[in-house]
Amino acid sequence: MLFSRLRLSLTISRKMVQEHSSKRPCVRIGTHNGTFHCDEALACFMLKQLPEYKDASIVRTRDANQLAECDIVVDVGGVYDPATHRYDHHQRSFTGTMANLTDGKMNFNTKLSSAGLVYLHFGRRLLEQLMPSSNEDHKEIVYKRLYEYFMEEIDAVDNGINATEEKPKYHVTTTLGGRVRDLNPAWNDTHQDFDGQFEKATELVGSELINRVDGMVKRWLPAMDIVRKAFNKRHEVHSSGKIVKFETGGCPWKEHLYQLEKQAECEGEVQYVIYSDSNGSWRVQAVGVQGEGFTSRLPLPESWRGVRDEKLSELTGIPECIFVHASGFIGGNKTEEGAMEMARQALQMKS
């Protein structure tokens, strides 16, 4: 599996996670002791993927003298100074974001945590290690996407920034930060092994990071080319350009489609995509409204929703219909021609 060699570095031996040391090792990464959080666990993991820190020991302490001896310090110490490799974000004077620390080149305005700071200064070198066979353009695309869809959440949660100003409709308890928090020893444990549990936290966040990059390299980037080709041919599929056809299903197309529409200055144009499924049938799917969850730009007609098989074919006059979902976001037909006709009729009924 891609990146298997890097998984070897997920485990940090107990002797390398230490609060006190009588013998100074060659390289030391400093962070705070006691209760740990997602950001410093991830910061430590990312650093240990780099050649200069791969054999470093992790010193967990708040003792200023011990931290002063560390080669790099994250999430403790009250100092942000890249020149001396100090990456704390808790001091009142710190207001750093990706946007203001990159002169607007990265347009993200969430205050950085220690993980975000390490990613800002070492992220591109990290990706050199995680995706060595990819070209520079792809690495830069992944660098920005990984921040937006992975790192920014960690920064926000650690800094107490809610995802929305509205009251959530239900509890979300399975986030990466929540799972790291749950690895801390219980308040009533008779033996609270914070260092041992920090090992597990670092392994957890590291595996999540590698899986995200793995998915982007193996699935998301290849899909980008497929979606671009289909988008460029959309007027051959339907003169309006409102229907895009993929020869096969399964590729992640939504984000790529939104980006291509933006680049072509035709945002909101495409209403439906059609594609074959794993059973050899075809699907017609309404394009969602970007950023609005389950809302579709143009759901399939209300009169079709929840109807199946022969009854749906009789209703539409289209042979081989299979179903239309009750919400109208997707439907199926046994043939490409049938799925295409469903999309055409849906456009006509709207107009």
The percent of residues above 70 in pLDDT, for the chain, comes to 93
**Tokens describing residue 309:** 């098989």
Q: Residue 19 CA to chain centroid, in angstroms?
A: 33
Confidence of residue 26 (pLDDT cuts 50, 70, 90): confident
Distance CA 14, CA 18 (A): 7
**Strand pairing partners for 283?**
275, 332
Q: Would you place residue 11 in the very low, low, confident or very high pLDDT band (cuts 50, 70, 90)?
A: very low
List the Cα angle 159/167/286 in 5-degree steps.
100
Please tell me the pTM assigned to this model.
0.82
Query: What's the distance, Cα to Cα, between the start and end of the chain in Å?
Result: 50
CA triplet 186, 191, 196: central angle to 5 degrees?
Answer: 80
pLDDT band at 25 (very low <50, low <70, confident <90, very high): low
pLDDT at site 20: 46
Burial 129-138, CB ≥16 within 10 A → b, else e: bbbeebeeeb
* 8 has pLDDT over 70: no
Share of the chain above pLDDT 90, in %: 87
Q: Which of 46, 32, 89, 76 is nearest to 56 (CA)?
A: 46
Q: Let me know the angle formed at the C-alpha of 343 by 337 and 346, rounded to the nearest 5 degrees.
A: 140
- Give the mean pLDDT of the chain: 92
pLDDT of residue 23: 53
Angstrom distance (rounded) from CA 100 to CA 130: 27
pLDDT at position 247, please? 84
Per-residue pLDDT tens for 263-303? Answer: 999 999 999 999 999 889 999 999 999 988 789 999 999 99
Give tens-digit pLDDT for 72-114: 999 999 999 999 999 999 999 999 999 999 999 999 999 999 9
Q: If you average pLDDT over residues 198-225, what whole number do you get?
A: 96
Q: What is the pLDDT of residue 1?
A: 47
User: Which strands form 72-74's sheet, in the order they lie side by side?
Assistant: 17-18, 57-60, 28-31, 72-74, 86-87, 80-81
Place of tokens 């003792």: 63
CA distance 63 to 77: 9
Q: Per residue in 304-319, pLDDT tens?
A: 999 999 999 999 999 9
